[in-house]
Amino acid sequence: MVVAGALVANGLLLLAQRSRPPELAGMWELPGGKVEPGESPEGALERELREELGVETVVGQQLAGDVDLAGGLVLRAYRVELMSGTPAPLDHSDLRWVDARGLVGADLVDADRAWVPELSGMLRQP
């Protein structure tokens, strides 16, 4: 399983720009990564966000609908709340906070597009 986090603050969502692999580099995603053996999905997401963004988070509600990825992986997204730190692109090319218009206009990885309608509703409208 792969887990991803929707970090919303002040009506804006944090997007992260992938640096790899070449076919996904430059595209934007909800940050996250693979669940390791023995981890819960929530624990894995908190670890990934600590490693990739340098922040402490608490994982909240799951977004609706898991997404099938290539290679038999399943992607699941959760709301996450920022507890401490300021997100930094420790593993990504760049970070960006988007409102509803910015999310719809972003060059997202395909798998994450499923959540755009649900996420847009949580964000500041133009």
Give the binding range for ligand DCP (CB under 6 A) out of 25-33, 79-87, 95-103, 114-122.
Answer: 25-33
Stretch that binds ligand DCP, among 24-32, 80-88, 94-102, 118-126 (CB under 6 A): 24-32
Residue number of the CB atom closest to ligand DCP: 33
Query: DSSP string covering 44-105, please?
Result: HHHHHHHHHH--EEEEEEEPS--EE-GGG-EEEEEEEEEEES----SSSSEEEEE-HHHHHH
What are 20's two structure tokens? Answer: 């790899």
Q: Is 4 in the site for ligand DCP (CB under 6 A)?
A: yes
Query: Rounded to the nearest 5 degrees, what angle is found at the Cα of 87, between the Cα atoms of 63 and 112?
Result: 30
Candidate list 69, 114, 116, 122; residue touching ligand DCP; CB under 6 A: 69
Contact residues for ligand DCP (CB under 6 A)?
A: 2, 4, 29-30, 32-34, 69, 75, 109, 111-112
